[in-house]
Structure 1
């Protein structure tokens, strides 16, 4: 067991691509935690999709041994966190397990929206913060300007910020010394009853559920019988260890230490993140405060292209849900798409990651319906229901009003693109709350409806600012607005996968744009197809897809006109019958393309 004064627990927080994972690599490399032959870039990013996209999705832990300049040996527990707004939940729970943070800022780009969001989470968790200016080897680096920006925008002292190049290794020794000198040691009592925080859990096909724990008080040994305080389940610990980054068994874990346990737990659902673990006998009575559970904000339907693969999809989704507590799902059926699942995600990137993993790891082709958010529908009788899927909207005669989720969006943008950003936010029914300047960059705060942001707001923002804007948001609650359900009818049949909730003032424009798009996306059939957008029983836009024509009179040479007329009438009757019974095939691309809003 390590002496408390010689333990430092810290996380690395930053905006996307400011170099968190690279800095973690250098800290691991310079302390010889991993043999040189096993070293690779983004060592802690273990998923293929993380390495391919160059982003961190899961927060990862590693234990580093470091001998400081004063000759004393320290144990450093590092948590590398994601930078993307969709995985802010991973960041917030990692923060609760440590006492300090390294705030990494790119010295060429300065403070971005996610830098602010993550550093405020660290301050809320009561962290000591050490600023690190990364990428000083680049010609565009301007450390003095960025240090000044950190002081102006965030309000923490950056006069002695460490200057680092995580790529080349400059300043890594100074970073390790700063961790030892400036970050606080954990507190805890080894003789008190066991109190351990459950930080994360995931499923391993050989070991069952692996649980990441941070010990607050007491000690945890192999063979102990432990109790999960939320569901009072009892387990026997059969393995205990730490990550270096590979699993390494240890005899026991004491206060201030972070490690893992396995206890023959079969389901990840039995281990609730934020739970308190204590001993079965002589345990603690007061649990730790825990974290608030993650709330899915975006919902969409996942359907297999080949309906015979439904059971394989069910299998894939159940396996993914084992490792991802923030991903929820339930079964649903659709007239157009057959059997599938309605899934909840933390954001669009989370949705993309899950979809890519199902298609890649389980080889199932998917159709994804329009992402939607949760609406609160208040009935005339005073009850309230949550609406996840626009297709399930109850009859308007029994509905009193609807409320939609609103977000507070923070956008940092260079001055010359400010006008475009303000126009984009106004177009999406935004209400401006604040506009301040940090040097040559504007910080805009907007109150926006989540359903306007959820589909392609981020793409549009990046394109109008040539990629220079950064964006972060948090949920603010619900507000009443005049929302209606818009249905798309193809050949008089409603296509529930294309149902969306829209604001009444925008419905005509959106409906017209959607039917025009579908006219180009749906292939022509042997009969003419009306494509309509409707609100309730009222059609607000219509396009007609012309029929493919076959020349049935080609075989008539000369003769009386009545012969041709007879064939044409026969064809007309056939087309009418086809239109009655014919099935319109809508290709997969049409679903995705029709829902993208090109302004």
Structure 2
């Protein structure tokens, strides 16, 4: 018990967490050199290709220090703001955390957010300066930054290079010396927190647990406190990146995998508590919330026959990623599809890419939206995620939109660009602090709707990639919002409807119809593309008709013959316009996303 250390690695995206985890695993000899690969903890192809961690992975390591054997349970966490719920979940099961900061880049926005989660859980935090082998590394400046912004004492910080392996031994020794052993009791009734669950084709739903009190053995009958169901423990394992290691029991303070032979992950929800059926714990482990989706988008198969395939694919993906939620919806323009809830834009990209790759689907995603609260004139409050669900204007008292509290850290030379961008996106400044002479910390309240489209890309491009951004949801506020509809040939295309601030509606409407004009294919009749708010048209563009040469068969002769044919064509076009239908290409729906 005294020799167990549970810790996780937290950092901003790209500061070298996964590489550091690789070096620690190698130093402890948990994976042989032959089986070792870079980012060994990242199991998905997308994670390795993009160099990001999406799912927190665990590994159990053995290390001998001063003649004693220590057990190190390491949890590698994601660094991107979309996956901060994974981080909070992993930290709930640890006693300590390594705060990894890039010695060349310094403290970034997500670093601060993750440290606060760690401090809330009363963890022992060890500051680790990574990439000290780089010529641009400035460890002393970064130590000052950590002390100034976060208030952590950096006199005992560890300097490492995860790429070359410098300082890894010293880091492991610091973990053993400074991170406390878990305080638990084998004699108390079993209490185990599920902090991850996923689906295995052979073993069914697996639960990764941290045992707080008591012990769990093979063939025990356990009770999942949230669902109230009893199950038999078929197998127990310790996590390992190559292959899990089987064991007969998991004692208090340890991290392990429980096999219950379940068909669905919903029976072992993350944050639930497992206890023994015959000797129940008095109360569950509290302080744990499920992930809430923030961004909603419609996903539709390009081939409408593939609707059932998309349903199967989402059902199977939900087994491995419990944070997505979805419900069927129909669109006049796109047919049958699903309204899917995501944790953020990167999560949306990753899920769409996984659906297309792993299940061979071709999908169209509509413009992402957020949840709005609408107070109707009859006093009823409703929540909507799809602009087409908005009630008529005369029935709306007011619309509330979600705001986020955002933190941005940027070099001071780009301050002007960032403030301009934030003002365009209706941001309200709450704090501005010079960390050093050339780095600024900004805090802004921004409407969530303004950051779901392309805010992150714009922020990166106006600061040459140097600014970092982090946000957390704060509250709903009343906004002056309207629904902007796009009509093609007199018909409203519901998939292109968006909710916008009324002062921006004119320019947004003009930009949309202009972009649509280049995309809608020319027909044999003239097509009108209109942007409207309610029944009022605010912008219009025409797609010119394509002429068919009806006079091609006339060789010479009187002009009246040609005129007669052209008049006949004109009559036909008038009739065609009244019954004409326009097929929109899939690029039309993506054009909405590209408009600035």
TM-score, length of structure 1 as denominator length: 0.98
CA distance in 1: counterparts of 2:581 and 2:179, whole angstroms: 67
Match of 2:568 in 1: 570
Q: In the aligned structure 2, how far is the partner of 1:107 from the partner of 1:574?
A: 72
Query: Which residue does 1:233 correspond to in 2?
Result: 229
The 2-side partners of 1:583 and 1:80 are apart by: 54
1:369 paired residue number = 366
2:273 equivalent among 270, 273, 276: 276
Shift of 1:557: 2.7
Residue in 1 that maps onto 2:176 = 180
Deviation string, structure 1 residues 223-262 (Cα, Å, up to 9, x no partner): 0111111110111000101012221111101111000001
Counterpart of 2:146?
Answer: 150
Q: In structure 2, what is the Cα distance between the partners aligned to 1:441 and 1:580?
A: 62
Query: Per the alignment, in what secondary structure is the counterpart of residue 87 of structure 1?
Result: helix
Q: Is the 8 A contact 1:514 1:595 kept in 2?
A: no
In structure 1, distance between residues paired with 2:522 and 2:456: 34
Hey, what does 1:527 align to over in structure 2?
525
Query: Hey, what does 1:590 align to over in structure 2?
Result: 588
Alignment partner of 1:165 is 2:161 = yes
User: Equivalent residue for 1:90?
Assistant: 86
Q: Offset at 1:560?
A: 3.2
Distance (Å, rounded) in 1 between the aligned partners of 2:399 and 2:433: 33
Mapped to 1, the partners of 2:384 and 2:227 lie a distance apart of 29
Supply the distance in 2 between the matched residues of 1:121 and 1:586 (Cα, whole angstroms): 47
Unmatched tracts of structure 1, length 5 or more: none
Corresponding residue for residue 102 of structure 1? 98
Tell me if 1:211 matches 2:207: yes
2:36 alignment partner, one of 28, 32, 39: 39
1:49 and 2:46 aligned: yes
Contact kept? 2:369, 2:449, Cα under 8 Å: yes
Partner of 2:459: 461
Assess if the C-alpha contact under 8 Å between 2:407 and 2:470 holds in 1: yes
Q: 2: CA distance between counterparts of 1:196 and 1:417?
A: 48
Equivalent residue number for residue 346 of structure 2: 349
Report the alpha carbon displacement of residue 543 of structure 1 after superposing the two structures with TM. 0.5
Asked if the contact 1:224/1:237 (under 8 Å) is kept, the reply is: yes
- 1:59 equivalent to 2:60? Answer no
Q: CA offset at residue 290 of structure 1?
A: 4.1
* Further displaced range: 87-96 or 548-557: 548-557
Q: 2:322 aligns with which of 315, 321, 325?
A: 325
Contact 2:367 2:592 in 1 (8 A): no
Match for residue 410 of structure 1 among 407, 411, 422:
407
Answer yes or no: is the 8 Å Cα contact 1:456–1:597 preserved in 2: no
Residues 178-197 of structure 1 show CA distances to partners (whole Å, capped at 9, x for unaligned) of 00001111011100001110
Q: What is the TM-score with the length of structure 2 in the denominator?
A: 0.98
1:138-161 deviation line (CA, Å, top 9, x unaligned)? 111110111111101111011221
Q: Indicate yes or no: 2:484 matched with 1:486.
A: yes
Match of 2:427 in 1: 430
Distance in 2 (CA, whole Å) between partners of 1:547 and 1:213 is 65
**Secondary structure of the residue that 2:416 maps to in structure 1?**
helix
Q: Give secondary structure in 2 for the equivalent of 1:554.
A: helix
SS in structure 2 at match of 1:333: strand
Instruction: Report what 2:540 is aligned to.
Output: 542
| Stretch of structure 1 that moved more, 560-569 or 36-45 | 560-569
Q: Does 1:74 align with 2:70?
A: yes
Aligned to 1:442: 440
